[in-house]
Amino acid sequence: MKNVYFWVIMISCILPVYAEAPQTPQRLNPDIAVEMALRNNLNLEAARTGLDIRRRRSDLAWNQFLPTATVSGTLLRDNVASTSVGIDFSALPNLVPFSITIPQWHMNGAFTATLDFSFALFEGMRSLRLDYEAGRISHERTKLQMEQGVRKMYNGILLLEANVGLLKESFSNAQRQADIAEANFRAGLAPRLIWLQAQVAVENMRPAVSNLENNLNALMGSFALLLGLPFDTPLELEPLNLGDKGLPLGLNEIVSRAVSQKPDILELQASIQTLQSQQKALSMQQFTPFLRLGWNLSYLFNPMLDPLSDNLFTGDNWNRGGNFSVTLGMNFNSLLPFTREGQQRRDMEANLQIQSIRLAQTIRETELEVSTKLASLENILATVEAQEAAVELAQESYRLTEEAYRAGLQDFQAVQGAALALDQARLQLLTQQFSFLNDLIDLEYALGVPFGTLSSDRTLSSTGSVR
């Protein structure tokens, strides 16, 4: 038993030493969060790999002018044995006929090189370069969308944290009011019913606080995964400045800038340029002649010998041949619209038309989005101004109501109502402020300017410079 007690004491002393220390929270601000997401996010890594493929194709576009070289070796067997009949002139003056059975197995080898020239090859090189440019723009758009999502999610977490803070503050106020009600009851200044109502209000708020904290933890986990971190990494987000921010530009200037620089529009324009180049290359391939240069070197094992039994490494047993060819040709199927080549041209034209329609639709949607965002920003500014005054009034009302309740001049429902009005006013103000910030982030994406140009304390001049 003494040994047992000894090991129990030793283990109880050792375990705390090896216990996992609490993890230090990862401190973040929007720029650090964006940097981590761009570096670690798996979706962006896949996009970078796709861009590398396009870059390699563009850099090696000249390989279309390399000849196609083929080395082949063939071992074949005749289905039916053949016989060669002849006359032996070595026995002159007598002519002696003879008959030889040719082996059924034969062997040959060949080296072939071909090189095609056409005007379409040059346009094909240009198409590959344009395709890489389109891929680069698409990759940049993916990065901007990722940054936009990270910044808005960052704001959403801060708003939820503020909501949790307000709810906890309300819970503390309710607990304090319950303590006041208990003190008044014990002093004979209030009935027991008031005390019970205050306690019920406290207990009713506990699940709401717990649920909101769980929602915040879940959102934090999702944000950590977005940044490439383990989902259980503790995060500490730096607060943002929600001070006064003015409206950027005028409607006409901001709409024209969005139409010309929004990443979605730039991506569609690059895609249309690539399709136009591919269409030109296809037309050149189908309607212009091609020149084909070929060179062939062949070795045929003597058909009178058997490659399975005779010596393959004797040069005299092989017959050498080959040729050089120049071919000028043209595909006439492309002249007929119902052929496969004709349908390829029609499909290309249809794809170009679809992309042009998408571009026109995106431009219209961008114009509507920008005008809607500006109207929303103006409305939020007016709402924030009014809501700030409402918060001040609600704070004063709550303070006076609680003082009256403490003196026994107001009932518990009045205090509850004043506290609820204050919480709603504060939450509404925070919601409007973060909505204003998120609308500015969406506007920055539409304008194609760096994030923070509008959503920070800076504004954008009509020339596009930051001041």
Note the pLDDT tens digit of each residue in 3-45: 444 344 444 444 444 344 456 888 888 889 989 888 887 778 8
- Shared domain for 99 and 39, answered yes or no, is no
Q: Is the pTM of this model over 0.75?
A: no
Residue 466 lies in a domain: no
Name residues of the chain where pLDDT drops below 50.
1-21, 457-467
- Residue identified by tokens 């003190």 is 183
The number of beta carbons lying within 10 Å of the beta carbon of residue 80 is 5
- Shared domain for 238 and 364, answered yes or no, is yes
Domain that holds residue 322: 68-117+290-329
- Shared domain for 303 and 441, answered yes or no, is no
- Shared domain for 211 and 320, answered yes or no, is no
- Shared domain for 283 and 299, answered yes or no, is no
- Shared domain for 245 and 323, answered yes or no, is no
Pairing of strands 82-88, 290-301: unpaired
Separation of CA 413 from chain center: 52
Residue 242 lies in a domain: yes
Q: State the CATH number of the domain containing residue 193.
A: 1.20.1600.10
Find out whether the peptide bond into 207 is cis, omega within 30 degrees of 0.
Answer: no
Residue 54 lies in a domain: yes
- Shared domain for 128 and 225, answered yes or no, is yes
- Shared domain for 152 and 194, answered yes or no, is yes
Tell me if residue 287 falls in helix, strand or coil. helix
d(CA 228, CA 225): 5
- Shared domain for 107 and 39, answered yes or no, is no
Tell me if residue 243 falls in helix, strand or coil. coil
d(CA 75, CA 79): 13
* pLDDT at residue 96, rounded to an integer: 62
How many domains would you assign to the chain?
2
Sign for the pseudo-dihedral over CA of 154, 157, 158, 159: positive
Residue 464 lies in a domain: no
Rg (CA), the chain: 41
Residue 19 lies in a domain: no
- Shared domain for 310 and 365, answered yes or no, is no
Residue 459 lies in a domain: no
- Shared domain for 280 and 171, answered yes or no, is yes
Domain boundary pick from 275, 308, 329: 329
- Burial of 290-305, coded b for 16+ CB within 10 Å and e otherwise, reads beeebeeebbebbbeb
Residue 5 lies in a domain: no
- Residue identified by tokens 């196609």 is 68
Residue 452 lies in a domain: no
Tell me if residue 124 falls in helix, strand or coil. helix
- Shared domain for 158 and 171, answered yes or no, is yes
Domain boundary pick from 329, 350, 385: 329
Task: With CA atoms as reference, report the closest residue to 439 among 379, 360, 359.
Answer: 379
Domain boundary pick from 329, 357, 391: 329
